Amino acid sequence: MDSDDDDPPRGRIARDDRPAPGSDAREIDRGLFVMLFVLQLFGSGFAIVANALGSMDTGTCSSDAEPGCVGDPWLTLIAVFTPGVALLLVILTLVVGVALRRRSRPSWWVPLAALVLMTAAFFAGAAMHTAAVHGSAFAGPPDPPSVAT
C-alpha cells in the first residue's frame, strides 16, 4: 500500500485548491459580485421608492393628527420597514462579500441572496401596509366609523 502524506484529509479543501489571486475564477467571481451588487442597489432603490409612493396615501394620517384620519400606529413602522431592510441588506452584503473574498471563497451568491430577501421584504411590507390601511382579510369587516353627535 502506498501512503500519500501530501493528500489533504477527506472532507477538507486543501489551501492549494482554492483559486489563486488574480486567476480567472476570482476575476469572474468579482465581476459577478459587482454586477449583482449593482442590481441589488437598483432593486433596493426601486423598493424604497415604491414603498414611499405606496405610503403617501396614509403618510399624514399615521398619527391621528388630523380630524377624520384613521391612524394606525403600525403605519409609521411599516413606512420604515422596507428602507430599513434594504439598508441592512446592503451593509450585510458588503461585509459578508469582503469576508468571503478575503478567504478566497466564492462571493457571487451574497448579493443574489440579498436581492431575493429584499424582494420578500418588499412584498411583506406591501402586505403589512395593505392590512393596516384596509384591514386584514382574516379580521373580518372593519367597524363602521362613529359619528359624533
73-122 pLDDT, tens digit per residue, is 677 777 788 899 999 999 999 999 999 988 888 899 999 999 999 999 99
Give yes or no for residue 60 having a pLDDT over 50.
Answer: no
In a domain, 140, yes or no: no
Q: How much is the pTM?
A: 0.67
Give yes or no for residue 40 having a pLDDT over 60.
Answer: yes
Mean pLDDT of 9-37: 73
Question: With bands split at pLDDT 50, 70 and 90, how would you rate the model's confidence at 65?
Answer: low
Mean pLDDT of 67-73: 55
In a domain, 13, yes or no: no
In a domain, 11, yes or no: no
Mean pLDDT of 134-146: 61
pLDDT mean across residues, the chain? 76
Q: How far is CA 93 from CA 67, 102, 124, 131, in A?
A: 44, 14, 20, 30
When divided into structural domains, the chain yields a total of: 1
In whole angstroms, what is the distance from residue 70 CA to residue 127 CA? Answer: 18
In a domain, 93, yes or no: yes
DSSP letters for 58-120: TGGGTTS-STT----HHHHHHHHHHHHHHHHHHHHHHHHHHHHHHTT---THHHHHHHHHHHH
In a domain, 121, yes or no: yes
Q: Over pLDDT 90: what percentage of the chain?
A: 30
Contact by Cβ (8 Å): 108, 33: yes
Provide the residue range defining the domain that includes 95. Answer: 22-134
